[in-house]
Every structure is written in structure tokens, then in C-alpha cells.
């Protein structure tokens, strides 16, 4: 198997150093490129397995690069991921609308960063993945097939639910944040928010991992509450109105319909309008 190739476009020194150390001994090649314009030619020449955009290039250059990639039938096949130490939520959402696959906020532990990068590479490129036994590989393929079959069973229902769902009607949540202090769990904040606002928030936190987000909010809608642990704190989400609880099938239909609607809203409108003077 050929070595995986990752292009890092506009990464600053800290981002490049962290990524290089993370990829050491994995067999994955990291090629840094200074700006967006030469990145397009390099993508066409090298056909990378993953494109990372760092914080060393202006935001309008990063947006231009994503627009070029999305507009090209060849380039849009390459996953694009942001790797920033800090970025605004609003701008990342705009980039997702342009075709960004995920956002990985730095810094991270190397193993965690490797795991997140591996999510966007074909299986088997990292050395620990290459050690998987054939039985394990067959099992993972079987799992994926079962997931596809389950998704197919609800797909028509999801489309129907999406056409009937009023996403402007809020499902209110109580968000409570807790932190550990001297061995005690202390509540540090409490506020009301909406289900769909929180889904957008978690898509950013978990790097656009839809499956993880769907699992969290399915638990919330079915059980009425859920706890999510982060490195430095935990969040407890609960439904304000008990009447908003749903069955498992209804919950996944609602969440998938929202995600599909958000993806559709992000697609450019190619319709033309005829004006008669």
C-alpha cells in the first residue's frame, strides 16, 4: 500500500511542528504549502489523501481555496479539514457551508490528533491500523453494511419528516456545565438553549462527526437528559418540556432531517431567474 499523503496549506510553525511529530513513524507524508493558490496545482499534481488548512493564511484565501475545490469535480473528492489553534464558530460554520469536512481545534494530545486525522483517511494508512487482523477487518465491513442497511430503512421516513418538520419551532434544553474542584463536582454555569443550536455547537466541537452527534442527541430526545464529558468539564443537557421526548425512530428522523436541511441550505443556488422588462 502506498504511503498516505497529507497537504498542509498555510500552517504556521506550531501547527506544522505538532502535525509532523504526530505523524512521525506512521508512514504518512506531510507536505507544507505556503498559500492557497499553489495548493490547487499541488492537489491536481499529487492527489493527496487529505488536505489540512492551517491558520497561517488569510481567511479569504482559505475560503477561495474551498470554493475552488468544491467547484472542481476532481478536487472535491479530497477531504478538507481545518486545523486551527483558535477560530470563531461563525467562520467555521461558513467554511462548512463551502464544503469543509471538519474542524480540529488544536492543541491536542498526539494520540487524539492521530485518531481524528485517521477518521478522514482511508483505513489502513496508520501503522496501528495495518496490524488489524483479517477477522477484525471483516467485522468492521460487516458493521458498516449493517449501518447502511439501517440507514436505508429510515431514509424515506427521514425525507418525509424533513419536509414536515418546522425547524423554527424551538425544542428548549437546559444546559448545565460542571467542573472538578478539589475532588468535588461544581456547577459553573446554567442556561437555556435550543436543540438545533446545540447540535450546531457539537458539530464544531466534535469535528463534524455526525454519527457521534446523532448518538448524543438521540439519547437526549429519548431519555430526556444526557451527560457529555469533555477533558476539562462536563455538560448535562435536559429537555425543558417533557412532552418533547421522542421514540428512538422519531428522534433519529428529526436529527437526520435537520442535518440534511442544513446541508441543502449550504449548497449554492444554481437556479436562474428570467426577468421581462
Q: Kindly state whether residues 118 and 186 are assigned to the same domain.
A: no
Average pLDDT over the chain, rounded to an integer: 76
pLDDT digits (tens, 9 = 90+) for 151-183: 454 444 444 444 455 555 678 999 998 886 666
Q: Kindly state whether residues 115 and 29 are assigned to the same domain.
A: yes
- Global pTM reads 0.48
Asked whether residue 272 is assigned to any structural domain, the reply reads no
Of all residues in the chain, the percent with pLDDT exceeding 90 is 13
Comparing CA positions, the residue from 15, 7, 11 lying closest to residue 41 is 7
Q: Kindly state whether residues 191 and 103 are assigned to the same domain.
A: no
Band of pLDDT at residue 112, cut at 50, 70 and 90? confident
Check whether 237 has a pLDDT greater than 90.
Answer: yes
Check whether 141 has a pLDDT greater than 50.
Answer: no
Helices (H), 47-133: 59-71, 89-98, 110-118, 127-130
Domain that holds residue 244: 163-266
Check whether 87 has a pLDDT greater than 70.
Answer: no
Asked whether residue 215 is assigned to any structural domain, the reply reads yes
Q: Kindly state whether residues 34 and 122 are assigned to the same domain.
A: yes
Q: What CATH number corresponds to the domain at position 88?
A: 3.40.50.2300
Q: Kindly state whether residues 40 and 118 are assigned to the same domain.
A: yes
pLDDT at residue 173, rounded to an integer: 92
pLDDT at residue 238, rounded to an integer: 94
- When comparing pLDDT for 84 and 147, which is higher? 84
- When comparing pLDDT for 237 and 111, which is higher? 237
Range ranked top by mean pLDDT from 98-107, 235-244, 260-269: 235-244
Asked whether residue 138 is assigned to any structural domain, the reply reads no
Q: Kindly state whether residues 110 and 169 are assigned to the same domain.
A: no
Q: Kindly state whether residues 33 and 121 are assigned to the same domain.
A: yes
pLDDT digits (tens, 9 = 90+) for 26-50: 888 899 998 888 999 999 999 999 9
Q: Kindly state whether residues 125 and 167 are assigned to the same domain.
A: no
Asked whether residue 110 is assigned to any structural domain, the reply reads yes
pLDDT at residue 210, rounded to an integer: 67
Q: Kindly state whether residues 11 and 126 are assigned to the same domain.
A: yes
Amino acid at each position: 500500500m502506498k504511503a498516505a499523503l497529507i497537504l498542509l496549506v498555510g500552517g504556521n510553525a506550531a501547527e506544522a511542528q505538532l502535525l509532523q511529530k504526530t505523524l512521525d513513524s506512521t508512514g504518512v507524508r506531510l507536505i507544507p504549502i505556503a498559500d492557497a493558490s499553489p495548493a490547487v496545482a499541488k492537489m491536481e499534481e499529487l492527489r493527496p489523501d487529505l488536505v489540512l488548512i492551517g491558520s497561517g493564511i488569510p481567511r479569504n484565501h482559505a475560503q477561495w481555496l474551498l470554493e475552488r475545490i468544491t467547484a472542481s469535480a476532481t478536487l472535491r473528492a479530497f477531504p478538507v479539514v481545518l486545523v486551527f489553534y483558535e477560530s470563531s464558530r461563525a467562520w467555521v460554520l461558513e467554511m462548512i457551508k463551502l464544503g469543509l469536512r471538519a474542524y480540529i481545534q488544536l492543541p491536542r494530545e498526539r494520540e487524539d490528533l492521530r485518531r481524528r486525522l485517521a477518521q478522514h483517511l482511508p483505513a489502513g494508512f496508520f501503522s496501528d491500523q495495518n496490524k488489524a487482523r483479517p477477522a477484525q477487518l471483516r467485522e468492521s465491513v460487516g458493521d458498516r453494511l449493517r449501518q447502511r442497511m439501517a440507514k436505508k430503512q429510515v431514509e424515506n421516513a427521514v425525507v418525509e419528516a424533513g419536509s414536515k418538520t418546522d425547524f423554527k419551532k424551538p425544542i428548549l434544553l437546559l444546559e448545565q456545565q460542571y467542573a472538578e474542584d478539589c475532588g468535588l463536582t461544581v456547577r459553573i454555569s446554567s442556561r437555556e438553549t435550543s436543540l438545533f443550536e446545540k447540535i450546531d455547537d457539537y458539530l464544531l466541537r466534535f469535528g463534524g462527526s455526525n454519527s457521534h452527534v446523532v448518538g448524543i442527541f438521540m439519547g437526549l430526545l429519548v431519555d430526556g437528559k444526557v451527560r457529555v464529558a469533555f477533558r476539562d468539564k462536563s455538560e448535562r443537557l435536559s429537555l425543558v418540556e417533557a412532552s418533547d421526548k421522542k421514540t428512538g425512530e422519531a428522534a433519529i428522523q428529526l436529527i437526520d432531517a435537520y442535518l440534511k436541511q442544513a446541508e441543502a441550505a449550504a449548497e449554492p443556488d444554481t437556479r436562474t431567474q428570467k426577468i421581462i422588462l
